[in-house]
């Protein structure tokens, strides 16, 4: 069994925090409490590196259509082991249609890395404040997601996902992608300054995963800062393997010890329109129908698909 090796890295300076607290004391109870938390928890956070490439095996099983990404991750991990250093992943942009498993892959990557996970939905983001925080002088101001994760979390290298990044919108006063020019470069990310706490934070160890349906709307300078991957829908064979693994896990989870977790061709044919992210719910429904009918195996009749999302928004099948 592979484990994550951890080293310690400070993500801010206690003297800077103390100075900031003295400057702001009394103006905002919430900000004072945030500074005091920073002082109480201290600046040191874990930076994890998987001890073996074996940690990528479950990802290859669960996300077989991500083989190109995983091959590059394996090379990065080998370099980390060879140099006895941390595993600094280049920011990743995953391109693919809805349902191919981009966010699921990122969650499993965080598990493999032995670190934390943060999801920031960009489709409704009209300002960069969610990432960078807002000035403490503003009414209702608060810390951004990046600084909050690094201060409240235990790790300096969480996996942070910016979901549907091509849908971020802004105005001439506020560009929600502007902060990424600094955050996606390790050198400048070391001195990231959240507008709310106004203290330099070392965000250089964050593992960035951005997802999008296409590169349209993403500025070229940002694309140049990332490794870009086109993620295809799983092949029929890959999708069948995913379905079998999900069903086997559900049988164990539900303690259906005498249930046959095999999937015949007729069942797989009926499951073909189902996107990978919807498979678990669909198979859970199938199990319910089979058990209600007194059977201990699935048939094609158990696959009762719900109506799709409508014209122009069809599912990505396998």
Q: Over the stretch 199-231, which tens digit does the pLDDT of each residue have?
A: 999 999 999 999 999 999 899 999 999 999 999
Nearest CA to 93 among 34, 145, 166? Answer: 166
Q: Which domain holds residue 241?
A: 236-302
Residue 145 confidence (pLDDT): 93
What is the pLDDT, as a whole number, of residue 176? Answer: 79
The answer to whether 214 and 167 are in contact (CB under 8 A) is no
Same domain, 39 and 101: yes
Residues 6+ positions from 199 with CB-CB distance below 8 Å:
12, 13, 16, 17, 20, 38, 193
For residue 311, the model assigns a pLDDT of 41
Residue 213 within a domain: yes
62-91 confidence digits (pLDDT tens):
999 999 999 999 999 999 888 877 778 999
Same domain? 126 vs 176: yes
| Low-confidence residues in the chain, pLDDT < 50 | 172, 310-318
Q: Are residues 52 and 192 in the same domain?
A: yes
Strand partners, 161: 119, 209
What is the reported pLDDT for 310? Answer: 46
* Domain identity same for 169 and 50: yes
Question: For 164, how many CA atoms within 13 A lie in the half-sphere containing its CB?
Answer: 12
What integer pLDDT is reported at residue 317 of this predicted model?
Answer: 40
| Distance between CA atoms of residues 210 and 105, nearest Å | 11
Q: Is the pTM of this model over 0.75?
A: yes
Count of structural domains, the chain: 2
State the greatest distance between any 2 C-alpha atoms of the chain, in Å, as a whole number.
Answer: 70
């Amino acid at each position: 069994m592979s484990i994550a090796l951890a080293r310690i890295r400070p993500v801010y300076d206690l003297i800077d925090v103390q100075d900031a607290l003295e400057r702001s004391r009394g103006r905002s109870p919430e900000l004072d409490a945030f500074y005091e938390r920073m002082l109480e928890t201290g600046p040191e956070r874990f930076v994890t590196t998987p001890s073996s490439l074996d940690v990528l095996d479950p990802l290859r099983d669960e996300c077989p259509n991500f083989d190109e990404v995983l091959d590059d991750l394996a090379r990065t991990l080998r370099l980390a082991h060879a140099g006895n250093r941390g595993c600094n992943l280049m920011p990743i942009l995953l391109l693919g249609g809805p349902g191919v498993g981009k966010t699921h892959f990122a969650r499993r990557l965080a598990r493999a890395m032995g670190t934390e996970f943060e999801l920031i939905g960009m489709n409704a983001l009209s300002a960069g404040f969610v990432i960078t925080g807002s000035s403490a002088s503003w009414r209702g101001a608060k810390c951004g997601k990046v600084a909050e994760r690094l201060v409240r979390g235990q790790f300096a290298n969480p996996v942070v996902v910016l979901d549907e990044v091509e849908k971020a919108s802004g105005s001439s006063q506020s560009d929600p992608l502007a902060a990424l020019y600094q955050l996606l470069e390790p050198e400048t990310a070391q001195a990231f300054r959240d507008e709310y706490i106004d203290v330099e934070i070392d965000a250089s160890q964050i593992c960035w995963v951005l997802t999008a349906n296409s590169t349209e709307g993403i500025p070229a300078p940002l694309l140049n800062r990332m490794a870009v991957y086109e993620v295809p829908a799983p092949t029929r064979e890959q999708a069948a393997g995913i379905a079998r693994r999900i069903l086997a896990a559900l049988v164990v989870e539900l303690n259906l010890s005498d249930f046959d977790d095999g999937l015949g061709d007729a069942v797989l044919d009926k499951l073909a329109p189902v996107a990978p992210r919807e498979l678990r719910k669909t198979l859970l429904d199938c199990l319910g129908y089979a058990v209600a009918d007194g059977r201990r195996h699935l048939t094609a009749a158990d696959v009762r698909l719900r109506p799709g999302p409508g014209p122009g928004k069809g599912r990505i099948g396998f």
